Amino acid sequence: MLRHREAQYLSYTLRKNLDDKKALLKFADELLKEQEFGHLSRGQTTAMIEAQKAELNEFSSLYEKLAALVTRTQAKTKKEVKSPSDVP
């Protein structure tokens, strides 16, 4: 982001020194356009993202155990709900 601002300042200075009104208006219009900083295109990555992917997720096994417990509890509850209705 800082390099972009430096480039804008340099561009402004050059256009101002050339005394080109059309170029200055075009530059002002370009400043109003929205810039995307930190947005990666599909397939692009950074060193930090790759490091995070490589790290072991210490909570993954906990999530898996919790999901298995919830699934077993739901299955058991469904089974118990069916059982009392089967008795005459």
| Per-residue pLDDT tens digits for 42-75 | 877 788 878 888 887 777 788 888 888 999 888 8
86 has pLDDT over 70:
no
50 occurs within a structural domain? no
pLDDT class of 79 with cuts at 50, 70, 90 = confident
The yes-or-no verdict on residue 2 having pLDDT over 80 is: no
- Range 15-38 average pLDDT: 76
Specify if 51 maps to a domain: no
| Distance of alpha carbon 54 from alpha carbon 33, whole angstroms | 37
Contact 27, 12 (CB under 8 A): yes
**69: in domain:** yes
Report the number of distinct structural domains present in the chain.
2
Report pTM: 0.32
Query: Assign residue 45 a region: left if phi > 0, alpha if psi is -120 to 50, beta otherwise?
Result: beta
The identity of residue 71, as a single letter, is: T
Both 1 and 32 in a single domain?
A: yes
Domain assignment of residue 67, given as a range: 58-88
| Assigned domain for 7 exists | yes
